[in-house]
Amino acid sequence: MERWGGKIAVVTGASAGIGLAIAKSLVGEGMIVVGLARRKAKMESEMKALKEKGTFHAFECDVSKQDDVIKAFDWIKKNLGMVNVLVNNAGVTAFGKIIDSDKETWEKLFGLNVMGLLYCSQQAVKMLKESGEEGHLININSVVGHKVLNNPGIYLNVYSATKYAVTSITETLEMELIGTKIRTTSISPGYVHTDIIKAAINSPSIEEEISKMIGLEAEDIANSTVYVLGTPLRVQVTELTIKALGSRG
């Protein structure tokens, strides 16, 4: 990780959970980290007491809105420099059956999980091609982006569909970026104990089913992100799947 010291990393959804854990880890590795999230005050509060080698900047941004993303990357370029690492972590889930759902739910999930990832990736790649420096795009995916959850007690609406899209987008970007110094990686965790799950639970039966699952911690995904970044430039880690020991997914 030494070569990333002093380099700029953007982490989306950095106000809580996996994104916050990744931001803390990268600051600890000496990087200049910019957190993008709607809750700027929460990011600042969470990172305030952190005394590490790197630095952290909070920028209020709804990544599902392209104008917000463009504004954020313009600010980074003007005030900090060129982005080297992008961690697309921002995401949302929803429980329930597709047939019982509505347009607003579908648009919310695809808007953040897919379009937000595309907006940020496009801006980061533009910067990296301009600078010609080494870069890395890391997309926080999910095991359900490779196989739909088979649990009669839990229905994930179109969440799996959005994560299947992340799998495809990551592979497509890898092909498009051949010949550059930009790597792409999809990190697919199993169940992780985070607020995103708690916020989406909408019935006691789902809460009961979730409580039975063996899960990972956000720090486990942060450690995996550091591992992927630390591999030599000649190494392309295309997919990293992480499950809790003893879990089925």
Please pick, among 119, 155, 159, 164, the residue that the annotation labels catalytic.
Answer: 159
pTM for this prediction: 0.94
User: For residue 14, what are the domain limits?
Assistant: 2-242
In a domain, 37, yes or no: yes
159 is catalytic: yes
In a domain, 134, yes or no: yes
66-79 and 116-131 are packed helices; what angle lies between their axes, rounded to 10 degrees?
A: 30
CATH number of the domain to which 165 belongs: 3.40.50.720
What are the residues whose beta carbons fall under 8 Å from the beta carbon of 199, sequence distance 6 or more?
none
- For residue range 154-181, what is the model confidence (pLDDT) as tens digits? 899 999 999 999 999 999 999 999 999 9
What are the residues whose beta carbons fall under 8 Å from the beta carbon of 142, sequence distance 6 or more?
159, 160, 163, 166, 188, 189, 190
Number of domains in the chain: 1
In a domain, 247, yes or no: no
Q: What is the pLDDT of residue 71?
A: 98
Q: What is the pLDDT of residue 150?
A: 87
In a domain, 212, yes or no: yes
In a domain, 235, yes or no: yes
In a domain, 115, yes or no: yes
Q: What is the pLDDT of residue 199?
A: 62
Residue 34 contacts residue 11 (beta carbons within 8 Å): yes
- For residue range 67-105, what is the model confidence (pLDDT) as tens digits? 999 999 999 999 999 999 999 999 999 999 999 999 999
Residues making up the chain, counted from first to last: 249
